[in-house]
């Protein structure tokens, strides 16, 4: 998974726009309004949510008899004073203490109340929209002859504002005419526009497009997080490790990278962490803040919105880094580099990484039924040849749950028994080809080439592809010798050695299904053919000789790389048996 603005401030319409200009620019205004998100204002005294601060304050006055504006007027609070008052109220509500209107300046005049109790509190942002204070001692309307002077001052000021408005409107109208003329002259003249843009940018650093923007946006909705939360293998592993090792988290500072809905941060807080910093670059961070608030954990968990490499954390170092950074085939989406950056920048020398290790596996795949259902299918669709739909079928890695025969135990893929050997769709034992010790791994290690090999345990008509998956390990020990995770460690066996402390899971076909599933690399059919024996008459048809016999070795090299045109994609290349090679893309 992984790490857009959390809240958008409301912008009042410009005074420079009269009704005619607003109608002329209706299209522009509509486009801007569509992009704005209305912040959700959480009530000071209960869990009700409102579209703006004024309606929330009216609710507090009507429902709870608490007049915020009256207290503000009585204490003559400026903006910072109002911030203190808001956080004073939120702190008392959080602690279950009563909130009454007899609040004095001495109650709120403490620096601690400048720090928001609720991160990105929309109430504080909305303080700018409150009506102006009436100066202390100002006479009530009609109570003094000074009112006439006040009216004169107001009329004078109104005249000045009208003059300013007319001047700005004239400037805006001139600007609009100039823009329209420019568009009329240049419309469709792409070459000239590009030439002038290049000339204007000469010698300037052109802002690079953020290729990851789509990535953050894809994690802003609820659906993808629902899928991950319902992946019990994934979520249970983090929960079990954190709760089974509460002694490691008690009193510690934890960094959660790519926090999503905040579930891992809340696990850590419940396990006794003294401070948790939840970081996410996606707009989902606003939902995480609300989840954390509604579960009473705002005093422990601080949400930070932005990319891990760009944000400034409120601490210099952390004791533990927890992150769910894994993608398809482990390294798709390229989130691990952010974790490695945080490890080098913030993790204490004796700090803990959760999870701590990962290894990647590959296995041969042979399933004629799958090929018939998904490849050959296109050659006869209700009697029509749709082979055009096969374009690219051998170029893209497929994410799926690979079928295993129900008659044999899933773990038999590692040591198939003779009675089930003829049924398995994985005709050779899996080969582990990459181990990542996250305490030592560098970003440069994530593009690599590694050897693999597997010996067939049965005859196959063809090698239909390769299956790729990964295992994850959660070790309570930082030391490599103590954690004892090796290249060929299997999740189930490793965790069983210390079931009270260790947690691990596999995404392989032999384990419970996860949302990562497996990556299938479909092999192109072998072109090697030989003449069919026709008794020496010549002109015989060709037959496929791509079949492999039991005992044949499939040996080669597998390469993981990042495509040049897709910073978060994954390119997988396999070279095997000397003369076969193929590349697949995950986009």
Task: Please tell me the distance from the alpha carbon of residue 131 to that of residue 129, in angstroms, as a whole number.
Answer: 7
Tell me how far CA of residue 511 lies from CA of 257, 411, 508, 517, 520, in angstroms.
Answer: 27, 8, 6, 10, 16
Task: Please tell me the distance from the alpha carbon of residue 241 to that of residue 426, in angstroms, as a whole number.
Answer: 32
Question: Nearest Cα to 521, choosing from 457, 452, 567, 472?
Answer: 452
Q: Which two tokens stand for residue 50?
A: 């409102």
Is the C-alpha dihedral spanning 439, 440, 446, 451 positive or negative?
negative
Tell me how far CA of residue 539 lies from CA of 484, 531, 542, 545, 558, in angstroms.
Answer: 62, 8, 9, 18, 40
Task: Please tell me the distance from the alpha carbon of residue 128 to that of residue 482, in angstroms, as a whole number.
Answer: 57
Given 32, 194, 333, 493, the catalytic residue: 333
Residue 24, classified by CB atoms within 10 Å of its CB into exposed (0-12), middle (13-18) or buried (19+), is middle
Task: Note if 333 is an active site residue.
Answer: yes
Q: Give the phi and the psi of residue 25 in degrees, each rounded to 5.
A: -100, 20
Task: Note if 33 is an active site residue.
Answer: no
- The CB density around residue 232, as the number of other CB atoms within 10 Å, is 12
Q: Give the phi and the psi of residue 241 in degrees, each rounded to 5.
A: -65, -45
- What angle is formed at CA 459 by the lines to CA 455 and CA 465, rounded to 5 degrees? 65
Contact 264, 256 (CB under 8 A): yes
Q: Which two tokens stand for residue 267?
A: 């696990």
* Element holding 176 (H helix, E strand): helix 146-186
Given 23, 25, 310, 324, the catalytic residue: 324
Tell me how far CA of residue 451 lies from CA of 180, 436, 437, 575, in angstroms.
Answer: 63, 15, 18, 9
- Hey, is 451 helix, strand or coil? strand
Task: Please tell me the distance from the alpha carbon of residue 36 to that of residue 24, in angstroms, as a whole number.
Answer: 20
Question: Nearest Cα to 89, choosing from 78, 98, 80, 81?
Answer: 98
Residue 49: partners with Cβ closer than 8 Å, 6 or more residues away: 40, 41, 42, 43
Contact 216, 281 (CB under 8 A): yes
Residue 302, classified by CB atoms within 10 Å of its CB into exposed (0-12), middle (13-18) or buried (19+), is buried
- The CB density around residue 321, as the number of other CB atoms within 10 Å, is 22
Q: Which positions are annotated as active-site residues?
A: 324, 333
């Amino acid at each position: 998974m992984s790490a857009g603005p959390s809240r958008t401030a409301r912008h009042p319409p410009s005074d420079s726009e009269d009704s005619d200009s607003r109608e002329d620019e209706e299209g522009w205004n509509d486009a801007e309004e569509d992009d704005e998100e209305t912040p959700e204002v959480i009530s000071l005294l209960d869990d009700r949510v409102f579209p703006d601060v004024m309606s929330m304050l009216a609710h507090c006055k009507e429902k709870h008899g608490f007049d915020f504006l009256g207290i503000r007027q009585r204490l003559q609070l400026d903006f910072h004073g109002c911030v203190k008052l808001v956080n004073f109220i939120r702190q008392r509500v959080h602690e279950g203490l009563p909130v009454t209107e007899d609040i004095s300046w001495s109650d709120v005049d403490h620096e601690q109340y400048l720090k928001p109790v609720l991160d990105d509190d929309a109430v504080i942002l909305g303080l700018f929209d409150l009506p102006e204070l009436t100066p202390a001692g100002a006479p009530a309307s009609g109570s003094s002859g000074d009112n006439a002077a006040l009216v004169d001052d107001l009329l004078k000021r109104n005249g000045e504002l009208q003059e300013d408005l007319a001047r700005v409107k004239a400037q805006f109208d001139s600007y609009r005419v100039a823009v329209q003329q420019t568009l009329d002259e240049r419309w469709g003249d792409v070459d000239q526009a590009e030439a002038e843009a290049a000339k204007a940018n000469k010698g300037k650093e052109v802002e690079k497009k953020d290729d990851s923007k789509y990535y953050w946006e894809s994690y802003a909705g609820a659906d993808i997080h629902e899928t991950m939360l319902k992946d019990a293998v994934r979520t249970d592993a983090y929960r079990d490790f954190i709760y089974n090792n509460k002694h490691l988290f008690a009193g510690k500072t934890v960094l959660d990278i790519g926090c999503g809905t905040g579930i891992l941060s809340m696990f850590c807080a419940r396990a006794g962490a003294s401070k948790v910093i939840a970081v996410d670059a996606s707009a989902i961070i606003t939902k995480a803040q609300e989840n954390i608030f509604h579960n009473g954990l705002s005093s422990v968990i601080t949400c930070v919105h932005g990319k891990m490499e760009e944000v400034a954390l409120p601490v210099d170092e952390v004791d533990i880094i927890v992150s769910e950074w894994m993608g398809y085939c482990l390294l798709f989406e390229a989130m691990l580099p952010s974790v490695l950056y945080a490890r080098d920048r913030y993790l204490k020398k004796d700090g803990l990484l959760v999870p701590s290790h990962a290894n990647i596996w590959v296995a041969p795949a042979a399933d004629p039924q799958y090929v018939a259902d998904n490849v050959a299918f296109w050659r006869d669709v209700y009697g029509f040849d749709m082979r055009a739909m096969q374009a690219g079928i051998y170029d893209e890695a497929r994410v799926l749950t690979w079928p295993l025969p129900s008659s044999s135990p899933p773990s038999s893929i590692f040591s198939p028994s003779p009675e089930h050997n003829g049924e398995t769709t994985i005709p050779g034992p899996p080969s582990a080809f990459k181990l990542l010790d996250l305490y030592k791994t560098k970003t440069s290690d994530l593009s690599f080439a590694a050897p693999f090999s597997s010996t067939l345990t049965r005859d196959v008509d063809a090698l239909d592809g390769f299956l790729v998956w990964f295992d994850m390990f959660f070790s309570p020990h930082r030391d490599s010798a103590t954690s004892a995770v090796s290249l060929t460690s299997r999740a189930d066996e490793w965790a069983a050695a210390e079931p009270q402390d260790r947690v691990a899971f596999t995404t392989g076909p032999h384990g419970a299904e996860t949302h990562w599933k497996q990556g299938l690399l479909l092999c192109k059919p072998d072109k090697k053919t030989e003449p069919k024996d026709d008794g020496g008459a010549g002109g015989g048809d060709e037959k496929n000789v791509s079949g492999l016999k039991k005992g044949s070795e499939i040996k080669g090299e597998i390469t993981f790389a990042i495509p040049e045109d897709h910073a978060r994609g994954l390119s997988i290349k396999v070279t095997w048996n000397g003369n076969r090679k193929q590349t697949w893309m995950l986009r």
